[in-house]
Amino acid sequence: MDISVIIPLYNEEESLPELISWIERVMAANCFSYEILMVDDGSNDRSWQVIEELSQKNQAIRAIKFRRNYGKSAALHCGFQNAHGEVVITMDADMQDSPDEIPALYQMIQKEDYDLVSGWKKKRYDPLSKTIPTKIYNATARRFSGLKLHDFNCGLKAYKNKVVKNIEVYGEMHRYIPILAKQAGFTRIGEKVVQHRARKYGVTKFGLNRFINGFLDLLSITFITRFAKKPMHLFGALGTLLFIIGFCAAGWIGIDKLICLSRGIGARLVTDNPYFYIALVCMIMGTQLFLTGFVAELVSRSATDRNVYLIEKEI
């Protein structure tokens, strides 16, 4: 099978017939063998009934319905695990992604040997309340990840099948799939300018809380990908640094008092010096961080997946 199109959706009953019809036309025009895998993320409108009607007309349509709303990451992960196509295309169900982009994305994966191609909605039709936070978020993600992508969260992406089978998307990590792919060893990550269409049906699910959560998730994924297997490298280094700073500061306070006493100069008690307590707090915090790293290292060593590696080739 050439292509699996994965469409996560939530309350998109109006757009589904038009979207599926458009995808079918594109696939027929390019003679692709394909499947359309729709993941209903607990919709409470008629989305599932519409999917059932569409699936009776086209045997290439497969669908999964969640009992409740788990989020886009869960829907994508479920779709990834059930995709059979050599190339996996993801797109949103709100008609803002154009299926006409599918052939070019497919060629970039198959002919140019990219592992992942992310869409870039260079010209957007979203309100400023969405575009400005998105620009800030993308700039931050580029800074943290080292990936020179303009639009990390674009729903329109193309993957090799082996990529989606070897990454785990959870929580709200769908925003960072290119980073997850890079950390898994898939470094050929490209970008393509794609058409962004104004929303035709329904309402946006975007809120400012997603921007805040997105930044927190970026910090989480940065920590997990760099230190999940070696937490002592982070906590141990910070703890040791703090302890040394506190110990040196306390030593300096003690030496300063001894010098004053040797010269017959009156010196106040060490416990009256506010810097003594700052030094003490630094040593305590340093010890706590070091012990945190030690305990985290023990937990990491006992994890069941500590020896799970991605094998590129085998003879």
pLDDT digits (tens, 9 = 90+) for 69-121: 988 999 999 999 999 999 999 999 988 899 999 999 999 999 999 999 999 98
The average pLDDT across 125-141 equals 75
What pLDDT score does 173 carry? Answer: 82
pLDDT at 207: 55
Residue with the bigger pLDDT between 202 and 183: it is 183
Per-residue pLDDT tens over the stretch 242-294? 999 999 998 888 888 888 878 777 767 877 888 889 999 999 999 999 998 88
pLDDT score of 122: 84
- Whether 305 has a pLDDT exceeding 60, the answer reads no
Quick one: which of 108, 159, 150, 112 has its CA closest to 131?
A: 150
Percent of the chain topping pLDDT 90:
49
Predicted local confidence at residue 315, as pLDDT = 46
The region of weakest confidence among 51-55, 119-123, 126-130 is 126-130
Residue of 238, 311, 235, 248 lying closest to 279 (CA atoms):
248
| Better-scored residue on pLDDT, 126 or 65 | 65
pTM value is 0.75
**pLDDT value of position 181:** 92
Specify the pairing of strand 116-120 against strand 157-160.
Answer: antiparallel
- Residue 39 and residue 9 in contact, taking contact as beta carbons nearer than 8 Å: yes
With beta carbons less than 8 A apart as the criterion, state whether 30 and 68 touch: no
- Do residues 73 and 172 make contact, with C-beta atoms less than 8 angstroms apart? yes
